[in-house]
Every structure is written in C-alpha cells, then in structure tokens.
Amino acid sequence: MKYAYYPGCSLERNAGAYHDSAMAVAGPLGIEFESIEDWNCCGASEYVALELLPAYSLIARNLAIAERQPGPAHKLVAPCSMCFLNLSKVDHHMASVPAVADNVNRALAAGGLRYDPGSVQVRHLLHVITEDVGLEAVRARVQRPLYGLRVAPYYGCLIVRPAYGEARDDPEYPTSMDELVRALGATVVDYPMKAQCCGGHMTQISEPVALEMIRRLLKNAADYSADAIVTLCPMCQLNLDAYQDAVNKHFGTDFRIPVLYFTQVMGLAFGHDAKTVGIGKEFVSANAALAKIGVEPPEAPAKERASKDALPMPGRPKEN
C-alpha cells in the first residue's frame, strides 16, 4: 500500500517520535510512504483565523503538489490532526464553493500551480491503519502483547469533528483507536474525556484556562488508573506531557502519566525497543509503563530533548 506523506512541521521537530514510530510500524504492515516534495506548513489554527484566502492558498499548495507528484499522490496521509483537518477542510470547501476554488487557484497560479478539488484523498494515519490495513493484520504483527498495560486513548477534538466526507467515529465517544489498542493486547480504560479539547495554544493565551483544561484530562485518566495516555495529535501530546508539571504546581496535584503516540505503543507491541519508537524524549517518564510490559527503558534520556526551561510555559515572559 503506497501513500503520499505530509509530515507537517511538528513531526520534524517536537513530535519527531511520532514520525520515527510511524516509520517503524509502516514497514511490517506493508505501508510505503513517499513524502511530497517542497511541502509547506499548513498554518495550524492561527493563519485560518486571520484571513481565509491566503490561509487556504497556503494549504492548497500542498494538495496541488501532491496532485501532480508521480506515484501514490492521490492518497495523502497526514499524521498530525491539525494538518489532516486543514487539508481536508480546504479540499472540501474548494469542491463545494466554486468561488473559493477560483480564488485559491488564482493565488496558486502565481507559483505555477493549480489544484483540482477532490483529486487528492486526505487520510489520517489512524484511518489508514484501522481501515486500509485492518485490525486483523495488526494483530498478526504483534510479537509482544501489551498485556496488563492500562491505556486511556485520547483523540482530541480535531480528528472527530467536523467530519468532511463520511464520518468515521462518534464525535463525542470515538472508538477506532480503542479497538486498535485492544488489538495490541492492552487494556483500554473508560475515558469519557477522550474527545474533549486540550486547549491547543491556550497555554500562551490564558494560564488558568489552559491548565484547568489539561487538569481535567489528566484527572479523568488518573481516575481510571491509566498507565499511559495514548494520542494521535502532536499538540495534544505536547500539552498533556510538557505542561503536566505546571498543572501539578498550580493545583497541588501529583500526576505522573506518560503521554505517548499510538504508533509508539504499536511499535512496542511489534517488538521494537523503546529507543527505536522515540520513547525517552517525552517529559513525563514512561519507564513505569514500560516495566509493566517487560520493555527495557532507553539507556539514558535523549540528549537532544529540548530543555524544559526552553519551553514557553504559561505565565513565563517570552524573550524578544
């Protein structure tokens, strides 16, 4: 199975473990990725909030490149939930509103590009694995079942709503990642907050609001004795992992819940070691969770991991 691949900015920096683990599980599942050439940032949420035409044009540029690239260009995989949403949204609006398509293509023409709406099918990595590959094929690749590991699957708010095209999951209580984690042998805990927002960039806007949103998600997982939270979004992983210490200081709590990508736990179940799937780069150690499934922790914390002091924590003045 061959797909064009759009990594997005996060997977080349703070979410590098997501990329590494995705590549580690793709091979055994028969998935081949080909990165689209000269891709650019999707603009995340900020650009779309400022001005739609340049934002849509920025996003559509990636679709136009994928459309004309030789190979598996008409199936484009985006592991990042924000990238998946933006690419899907622009394709949908260009297809349904001719004026949007005309204006965007007029902007793209300056760079010698044009995009025919609907010609590229945008897929999230989770959907490729659960739908195209299938759970039976995943079970067949499990070498180290994750027996005894209690997992809270966290989807976040972007992948389940709004649905452009056919809805794949219940927007309030999705289950596709739950079933995938069960196929790996882990125990899925009830997690009612699984589709609630982590706050996104609220950490840089309002400290009390951001920390309360993150606290609720951590508490819900702790209430069900989860050994780990597993997610599919770089922004969600960053907020729940990197700001966990700030939540503890603000509320006097003591959460110590590792936050991993679903591809990382897949990689462990497929027999990869922790370092290969990027474990050890997170802020909250996953060593206790690894011990429950008999996996050796990384030899030492990754030296390339950014210092916590370099992270723009809520309330911390930003350097000019």
Which residue in 148, 172, 142 sits closest to 291, CA to CA? 148
Q: Say what the pLDDT of residue 246 is.
A: 97
> To the nearest whole number, what is the mean pLDDT of the chain?
91
- Structure-token pair, residue 129: 């694995």
DSSP tally for the chain: helices H, then strands E: 13, 8
The C-alpha atoms of residue 53 and residue 173 are separated, in whole angstroms, by 33
- Count CA within 13 A, CB hemisphere, residue 27: 8
pLDDT digits (tens, 9 = 90+) for 223-247: 999 999 999 999 999 999 999 999 9
Strands of 6-125 (E only): list them.
32-35, 75-78, 121-124
* Edge-to-edge order in the sheet of strand 228-231: 187-188, 150-154, 228-231, 259-261
Mean pLDDT of 173-196: 97
Cβ-proximal residues to 36 (8 Å cutoff; 6+ apart), any chain? 4, 5, 6, 62, 65, 66, 69, 73, 76
Asked whether the beta carbons of 74 and 3 are under 8 A apart, the reply is: no
pLDDT of residue 167 exceeding 90, the answer is no
B/e letters for 147-168, b = 16+ CB within 10 Å, e = fewer, are eebbbbbbbbbbbbeeebeeeb
* Whether the predicted pLDDT of 320 surpasses 90: no
Distance, in Å, from the CA atom of 240 to the CA atom of 223, rounded to the nearest integer, reads 16
Beta bridge partners, 259, equal 229
pLDDT band at residue 289, thresholds of 50, 70 and 90?
very high
pLDDT at residue 51 in the model: 87
**285: pLDDT strictly greater than 80:** yes
Give me the pLDDT at residue 302, please: 45
Q: Which amino acid is at 276?
A: T
Neighbouring residues of 311: CB distance < 8 A, sequence distance ≥ 6: 242
Per-residue tokens: 52 = 């739609």
Whether residue 268 has pLDDT greater than 80: yes
pTM, full prediction: 0.91
Going along the chain from its start, the domains and CATH numbers come out as: 2-125 (1.20.1050.140), 141-310 (3.40.50.11810)
The secondary structure of 191-247 as a DSSP string is -TTTTS---GGGGGT-HHHHHHHHHHHHHHHHHTT-SEEEES-HHHHHHHHHTHHHH
pLDDT digits (tens, 9 = 90+) for 118-153: 999 999 999 999 999 999 999 999 999 999 999 999
Question: What 3-state class would DSSP assign to 25?
Answer: helix
Q: Which residues contact 112 (CB under 8 A, 6 or more apart)?
A: none
What does the alpha-carbon distance between residue 39 and residue 280 come to, in Å, rounded to a whole number?
29
- CB atoms < 10 A from the CB of 59, how many? 25
- Distances from the Cα of 84 to the Cαs of 111, 112, 292, in angstroms? 23, 24, 33
Helical pair 176-183 and 262-269, crossing angle rounded to 10 deg? 20
Place of tokens 């997610």: 231
pLDDT band with cut points at 50, 70 and 90 for residue 190: very high
